[in-house]
């Protein structure tokens, strides 16, 4: 199919949705950073990231996705290699080694690992007979465990946790027996419980304070004089607590764009990335927050709709994987901002500031567009739905 | 529908459930609990800053200040910043860390401390010589390597102004490359140049320490404060993490010096940027006026009292609550204006504001300087005033972004005392000169009051003891200075027909009056003349008068002038410590001894007051505070002729009697009476030597009393020179003499 025909068949609703979300992101990155001279101009940098990502996405869109399938293992290998080499090459920032420095840019391989995992799992699970056998569950678990372990060692617990829902969703969509999946979930939870002992001190503190905060109740002010709680609120609980203040303070209609005191007065940390949803809540209130969630939900549902309409298994699984990645990351981001989960750094797709995250999300959307534009069967074998 | 499609739908439902859960939680937080979170949001960015008030000054009767607030500065140490960013702090901490993890060895020395500045230099030498391989986690342990690299980077960056992170990166890369060279070689720095730069910083600290201690005698030695902070941190680090209930001690500010004059602080201000961790902030100190002479205002020091921060006291709560309510009432008006301009304040937010303001006022009062003794304590309420408040909007990094409202401070009121600073100075000098001939540390006191009972001057020696011990002797007698009061009672009893023995019937004075009673001289027939008997202090006259008056009459004589129980005691008034008169059991048994002043205890203040009563016929209430409530004078109801007899006797005392040798008294027109009361064993010849009187007879203006405690010699000889020295100095000042003669 020629490039022009592909472009003609592109799902413009999806493009529109992604475009609106990106624009929303730019606006709120600007709002979150305008008052702080240290971060001024980040919305422009984000616009550049978006433009470059769109360029790369266009190239990916014009490339038949069957080629991506053939390159699945090399892509996966490259991502794993990048993760393996990271501790030796990457700089340590805030106690973690997560980025490669490339000139003025920083690349975060964990973000690319998410897309790499989606591609390789789709390639492995596309054959029905494999999906329904033992290797349809065991091998994907192993495939996921490698980058997940490497990412956890950076340490980046949040990003490593995103990989497991992707695995489960793709296996489920591929037809892996539900019983086997439930066993895997059970074993996974046991392993996770055991993994608590291997968490770093600060991660344990975050989990501990998260568990404690459910017992505080609405009268935390009466405990404000209590040295212990005060120390927590100024220490490990500072970020989620300030985020909750921003979210709750927003109320129904919010303070107005650019007027959120928690973000404008610098109380909310990482507000351009890990807590950008709190900025939205504070400035636009519940109405704005629901609007954003509605757009994200529409995006995910639209992706699942595309998946449902795609007969070819690799393409379908690819889209399911991307949808799960976006949905999981969005839900986790919101849960962290509202302290439903312990504090961890997860950007909201297309909204948060960050070159790697933006690039990966745009490439993922481009892959989905690629699949949607080429819905006819292109592959041989039993790779059909 | 295929299995695959069904499963995709299941996924959609699952995502939908997740979304529904999140939305439900959002609704709970943003709608149901919105008010509580909004309050927290306001609490984050609203702050109340208390504005310290000026404490009123304590002034003399002419408005010259005795004690007042003076702006000054304080120096504090923030050890967290000092050890991390100051080259000396980073060197000591880094070198000790290196010693602990065996990165360096220092034979014979377990650790380096701040108390010896040579240790700081040694720390620098050791630290810059550490091989960068020691900065690797595999060699020194992960945390040690990280901290060591940090201190080394801090040290070098603070000395060279290079980027901290850049140095850290270079060191890390060199360590990763396996280099074993010292850090300064890796970074291409000249060790000699580093030492020179370090020496400059160290010298600045030494100089700062010297200047600060010269400016504040109570200031801690900087090096001791640093070492103490380091020791506390080490102790804290020794506590297992799970048991650490306190915040790290190095986060707290430690006071190095307070009350420093701004000249002293200028030096630190000029170098402060180069010394992170040492902070200067504005403060205020209570200072005393200085007087020429050795003692200055030292006599009044305990009387004026102290101002110190005290914790919340129950007796202040009511008054502070009133103050708070007043301030909040004012603030309510401002808040209404604010709500129109800025935010719509709900009732709960108003409560929040009240709560914050309440805490700010409470915090101020807890920190505030409260009078804890003397006049400062007695007059604390008017002197203290009320704090101001500033209601500001702040950000996390900017303490004040916007002023939302403010409430002016209520300055403390100045309080005028009855003292006259110039008279006080004269009295202090006189006491110094008058006591010069006596034994060292001789206890003495003198008070000067006017006819209204205003205490004009009050001084005592020795200076290093509390004057309470001097003014209020636990044992001691007034001796013959009490005789004028007994004589007056005798004359009054004669006039009014109360029990008495007419003095015309008295026996001649022959020296001995029964067992244990006698007179120093044989006054013979003078024992029947009240004027001469008083002037020459004839005990015979008073023994016989006491026999006529009985014990009750003699006690009434003293009580009339506030020197014995049952009479007109001094009312309790602010700023005045007066103890009720006391009597001994012995005095009850023998009115004759009572009549010559044994068994009666008094101090110079009450004695001067009593003599003012003799001068005017009205007993004044003593007062230290010029403004406000003052006790009035009491008409004594004595016949002028009787008073004239007593005054004649006192004049006789100065001209021909017991004080005749002190010619100065006569020249100055003083009417006085001497007193020599034996204390302790009668044979010890240790006396309380008194001289009390007033001037002048025609126009009484000043009454005085002077006593030298536990001295060998007579009242006139010992207390007389003090009085004469004071009055001569007064006469030599024409302006003062015109007022007080």
**Residue B30 and residue A250: Cβ atoms within 8 Å?**
yes
- pLDDT band, very low/low/confident/very high, at A244 (cuts 50, 70, 90): very high
**Residue A286 and residue B8: Cβ atoms within 8 Å?**
no
Q: Is B178 exposed, middle or buried (0-12, 13-18, 19+ CB in 10 A)?
A: exposed
Angle at B655 between CA B654 and CA B660, to 5 degrees: 65
CB of A343 within 8 A of CB of A239? yes
- Determine the distance in angstroms separating the CA of A176 from the nearest CA of chain B, rounded to an integer: 10
**Residue B37 and residue A290: Cβ atoms within 8 Å?**
no
> In angstroms, how far apart are the furthest CA atoms of chain A?
69
Q: Which residue of A has its CA nearest to B6?
A: A173
Give A293's contacts in chain B (Cβ within 8 Å).
19, 22-23
pLDDT at res. B21: 93
Which chain B residues in 8-27 lie under 8 Å from chain A, judged by CB atoms? 8-12, 15-16, 18-19, 21-23, 25-27
pLDDT at res. B315: 57
pLDDT at res. B456: 92
What are the backbone dihedrals phi and psi of residue B478, each rounded to the nearest 5 degrees, phi first? -85, -20
CB of B458 within 8 A of CB of B617? no
Give the strand order in the sheet containing B455-461.
B455-461, B444-450, B702-712, B686-695, B670-678
**Residue A286 and residue B40: Cβ atoms within 8 Å?**
no
CA B269 to CA B264: how far, in whole Å?
9
pLDDT at res. B475: 42
A79 CB near a chain B CB, below 8 Å?
no
pLDDT at res. B350: 67
User: Looking at the predicted structure, is the pLDDT value of residue A29 above 90?
Assistant: yes
Give B10's contacts in chain A (Cβ within 8 Å).
172
pLDDT at res. B139: 80
CB of B432 within 8 A of CB of B463? no
- pLDDT band, very low/low/confident/very high, at A226 (cuts 50, 70, 90): low
User: Looking at the predicted structure, is the pLDDT value of residue A218 above 80?
Assistant: no
Which chain B residues in 37-96 lie under 8 Å from chain A, judged by CB atoms? 37-41, 44-45
pLDDT at res. A384: 45
**Residue A252 and residue B30: Cβ atoms within 8 Å?**
yes
Q: Which residue of B has its CA nearest to A251?
A: B30
Q: Is B199 exposed, middle or buried (0-12, 13-18, 19+ CB in 10 A)?
A: middle
**Non-local CB neighbours of A322 within 8 Å, separated by 6+ positions:** A115, A118, A303, A364, A365, A367, A368
Mean pLDDT, residues A112-124: 92
B480: left (phi over 0), alpha (psi -120 to 50) or beta: alpha
Mean pLDDT, residues A295-314: 91
- Among B5, B29, B395, select the one facing A265 at the smallest CB separation: B395
CB of B333 within 8 A of CB of B403? no
Burial B298-317 (b: 16+ CB within 10 A, else e): bbbbbbbbbbeeeeeeeebe
CB of B302 within 8 A of CB of B371? no
As beta bridge partners, residue B50 has B389
pLDDT at res. B476: 59
Per-residue pLDDT tens for A319-346? 999 999 999 999 999 999 999 988 888 8
- Determine the distance in angstroms separating the CA of B559 from the nearest CA of chain A, rounded to an integer: 58
Is the alpha carbon torsion for B564, B565, B569, B575 positive or negative? positive
Give B23's contacts in chain A (Cβ within 8 Å).
290, 293
**Residue A327 and residue B18: Cβ atoms within 8 Å?**
yes
Q: Which residue of A has its CA nearest to B246?
A: A227
Interface size between A and B, measured as CB pairs under 8 A: 132
Q: For residue B491, give the 3-state DSSP assignment.
A: helix
Structure tokens at B739: 């007022």
A204 CB near a chain B CB, below 8 Å?
no
Q: Which helix (H) or strand (E) holds B77?
A: strand B65-78
User: According to the 3-state scheme, what is the secondary structure of B560-615?
Assistant: HCCCCCCCCCCCCCCCCCCCCCCECHHHHHCHHHHHCCCCECCCHHHHHHHHHHHH
Structure tokens at B130: 């550490």
pLDDT at res. B575: 54
A146 CB near a chain B CB, below 8 Å?
no
B78: left (phi over 0), alpha (psi -120 to 50) or beta: beta
Q: Chain centroid to CA B241: how far?
A: 42
pLDDT at res. B292: 64
pLDDT at res. B697: 87
pLDDT at res. B543: 92
Site from A245, A266, A299 to mutate, B interface, most B CB atoms within 10 angstroms: A245
A320 CB near a chain B CB, below 8 Å?
yes
Which own/partner contact pairs does A92-97 have at CB distance under 8 Å and 24+ positions apart?
A: A95/A202, A96/A154, A96/A155, A96/A156, A97/A154
A318 CB near a chain B CB, below 8 Å?
no
**Residue A248 and residue B29: Cβ atoms within 8 Å?**
yes
**Residue B45 and residue A300: Cβ atoms within 8 Å?**
no
Mean pLDDT, residues A131-157: 85
pLDDT at res. B293: 60
- Among A267, A286, A335, select the one facing B31 at the smallest CB separation: A286
- Look at chain A and count its residues: 385
A167 CB near a chain B CB, below 8 Å?
no
Whole-Å CA distances, B517 to A196, B486, B523, B591, B679: 98, 17, 15, 12, 15
B396 CB near a chain A CB, below 8 Å?
yes
- pLDDT band, very low/low/confident/very high, at A264 (cuts 50, 70, 90): confident
What is the mean pLDDT, run by run of 10 residues, along chain B of 741 residues?
A: 77 92 92 86 80 85 89 84 91 88 69 85 86 82 84 89 80 81 84 90 88 73 89 86 73 80 74 82 78 68 76 58 66 60 58 71 68 83 79 76 76 90 89 74 83 89 56 63 94 91 88 80 85 92 92 90 77 59 62 87 88 93 80 88 94 91 85 87 80 91 91 85 91 86 72
Q: Which helix (H) or strand (E) holds B284?
A: strand B278-288
As beta bridge partners, residue B694 has B671, B703
pLDDT at res. A349: 92
CA B705 to CA A295: how far, in whole Å?
96
Site from A265, A313, A319 to mutate, B interface, most B CB atoms within 10 angstroms: A265
CA B467 to CA B446: how far, in whole Å?
11
> In angstroms, how far apart are the furthest CA atoms of chain B?
146
């Amino acid at each position: 199919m020629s490039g022009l025909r592909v472009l003609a068949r592109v799902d413009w609703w999806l493009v529109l949705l992604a475009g609106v979300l990106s624009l929303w992101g730019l606006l709120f990155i600007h709002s979150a950073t305008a008052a702080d001279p240290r971060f001024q101009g980040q919305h422009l940098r984000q616009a550049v990231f978006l433009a470059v990502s769109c360029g790369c996405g266009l190239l990916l869109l014009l490339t038949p996705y069957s080629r991506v399938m053939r390159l699945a293992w090399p892509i996966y290998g490259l991502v794993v290699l990048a993760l393996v080499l990271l501790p030796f090459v990457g700089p340590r920032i805030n106690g973690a080694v997560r980025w490669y420095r490339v000139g003025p840019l920083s690349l975060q391989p964990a973000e690319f690992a998410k897309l790499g995992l989606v591609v390789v799992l789709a390639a492995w699970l596309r054959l029905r007979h494999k999906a329904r056998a033992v290797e349809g569950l065991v091998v994907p678990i192993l495939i996921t465990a490698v980058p997940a372990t490497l990412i956890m060692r950076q340490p980046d617990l949040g990003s490593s946790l995103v990989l497991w829902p992707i695995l489960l969703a793709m296996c489920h969509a591929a037809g892996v027996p539900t019983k086997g999946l439930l066993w895997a979930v059970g074993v996974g939870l046991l392993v996770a419980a055991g993994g608590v002992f291997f968490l770093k001190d600060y991660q344990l503190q975050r989990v501990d304070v998260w568990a404690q905060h459910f017992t505080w109740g609405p009268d935390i002010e009466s405990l404000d004089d209590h040295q212990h709680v005060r120390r927590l609120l100024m220490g490990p609980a500072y970020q989620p607590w300030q985020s909750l203040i921003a979210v709750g303070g927003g109320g129904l209609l919010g303070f107005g764009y650019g007027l959120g005191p928690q973000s404008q007065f610098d109380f909310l940390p990482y507000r351009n990335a890990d807590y950008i949803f709190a900025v939205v809540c504070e400035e636009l209130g519940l109405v704005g927050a629901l609007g954003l969630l509605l757009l994200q939900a529409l995006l995910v549902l639209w992706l699942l709709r595309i998946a449902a309409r795609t007969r070819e298994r690799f393409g379908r699984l690819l889209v399911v994987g991307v949808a799960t990645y976006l949905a999981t990351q969005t839900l986790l981001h919101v849960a962290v901002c509202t302290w439903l989960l312990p504090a961890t750094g997860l950007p909201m797709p297309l909204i948060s500031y960050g070159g790697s995250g933006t690039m990966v999300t745009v490439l993922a959307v481009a892959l989905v567009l690629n699949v949607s534009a080429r819905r006819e069967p292109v592959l041989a074998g039993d790779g059909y739905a | 529908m295929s299995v695959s499609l069904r499963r995709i739908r299941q996924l959609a439902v699952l995502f939908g459930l997740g979304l529904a859960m999140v939305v439900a939680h959002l609704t709970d937080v943003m709608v149901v609990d919105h008010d509580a979170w909004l309050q927290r949001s306001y609490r984050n960015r609203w702050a109340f800053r208390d504005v310290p008030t000026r404490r009123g000054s304590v002034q003399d009767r002419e408005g010259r200040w005795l004690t007042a607030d003076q702006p000054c500065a304080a120096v504090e140490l923030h050890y967290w910043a000092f050890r991390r960013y100051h080259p000396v702090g980073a060197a000591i901490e880094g070198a000790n860390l290196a010693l602990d993890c065996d990165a360096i060895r220092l034979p014979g020395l377990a650790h380096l401390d701040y108390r010896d500045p040579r240790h700081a230099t040694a720390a620098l030498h050791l630290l810059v010589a550490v091989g960068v391989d020691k900065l690797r986690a595999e060699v020194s342990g992960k945390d040690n390597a990280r901290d060591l690299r940090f201190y080394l980077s801090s040290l070098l960056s603070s000395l060279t102004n290079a980027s901290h992170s850049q140095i850290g990166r270079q060191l890390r890369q060199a360590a990763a490359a396996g280099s074993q060279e010292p850090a300064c070689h890796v970074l291409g720095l000249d060790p000699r140049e580093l030492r020179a730069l370090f020496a400059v910083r160290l010298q600045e600290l030494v100089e700062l320490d010297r200047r600060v201690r010269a400016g504040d005698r109570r200031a801690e030695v900087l090096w001791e404060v640093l070492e103490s902070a380091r020791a506390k941190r080490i102790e804290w680090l020794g506590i297992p993490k799970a048991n650490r209930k306190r915040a790290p001690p190095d986060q707290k500010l430690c006071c190095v010096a307070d009350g420093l004059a701004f000249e002293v602080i200028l030096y630190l201000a000029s170098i402060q940027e180069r010394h992170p961790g040492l902070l200067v902030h504005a403060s205020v100190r209570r200072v005393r006026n200085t007087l020429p002479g050795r003692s200055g205002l030292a006599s009044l020091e305990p009387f004026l009292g102290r101002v110190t921060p005290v914790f919340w006291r129950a007796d202040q709560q009511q008054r502070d609550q009133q103050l708070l309510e007043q301030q909040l009432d004012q603030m309510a008006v401002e808040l209404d204006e604010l709500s129109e301009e800025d935010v719509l304040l709900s009732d709960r937010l108003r409560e929040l504001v009240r709560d914050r303001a309440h805490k700010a006022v409470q915090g101020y009062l807890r920190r505030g300087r409260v009078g804890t003794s003397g006049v400062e304590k007695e007059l604390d309420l008017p002197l203290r005033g009320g704090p101001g408040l500033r209601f500001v909007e702040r950000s996390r990094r900017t303490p004040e972004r916007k002023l939302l409202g403010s409430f002016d401070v209520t300055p403390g009121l100045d309080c005028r005392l009855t003292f006259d600073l110039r008279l006080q100075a004269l009295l202090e000098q006189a006491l110094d000169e008058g006591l010069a001939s006596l034994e060292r540390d001789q206890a003495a006191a003198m008070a000067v009051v006017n006819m209204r009972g205003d205490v004009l001057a009050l001084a005592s020696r020795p200076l290093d003891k509390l004057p309470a011990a001097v003014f209020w002797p636990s044992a001691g007698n007034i001796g013959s200075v009490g005789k004028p009061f007994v004589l007056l009672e005798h004359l009054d009893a004669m006039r009014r027909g109360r029990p008495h023995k007419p003095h015309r019937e008295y026996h001649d004075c022959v020296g001995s009056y029964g067992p244990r009673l006698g007179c120093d001289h044989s006054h013979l027939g003078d024992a029947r003349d009240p004027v001469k008997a008083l002037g020459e202090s004839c005990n015979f006259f008073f023994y016989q008068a006491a026999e006529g008056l009985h014990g009750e009459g003699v006690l009434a004589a003293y009580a009339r002038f506030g020197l014995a129980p049952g009479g007109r005691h001094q009312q309790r008034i602010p700023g005045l410590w007066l103890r009720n008169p006391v009597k001994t059991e012995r005095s009850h048994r023998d009115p004759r001894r009572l009549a010559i002043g044994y068994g009666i205890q008094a101090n110079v203040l009450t004695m001067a007051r009593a003599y003012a009563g003799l001068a005017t016929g009205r007993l004044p209430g003593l007062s230290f505070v010029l403004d406000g409530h003052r006790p009035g004078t009491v008409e004594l109801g004595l016949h002028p002729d009787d008073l004239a007899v007593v005054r004649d006797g006192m004049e006789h005392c100065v001209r021909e009697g017991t004080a005749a040798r002190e010619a100065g008294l006569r020249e100055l027109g003083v009417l006085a009476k001497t007193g020599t009361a034996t204390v302790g064993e009668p044979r010890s010849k240790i006396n309380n030597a008194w001289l009390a009187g007033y001037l002048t007879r025609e126009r009484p203006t000043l009454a005085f009393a002077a006593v030298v405690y536990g001295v060998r010699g007579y009242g006139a000889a010992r207390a007389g020179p003090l009085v004469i020295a004071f009055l001569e100095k007064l006469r030599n000042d024409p302006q003062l003499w015109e007022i007080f003669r």
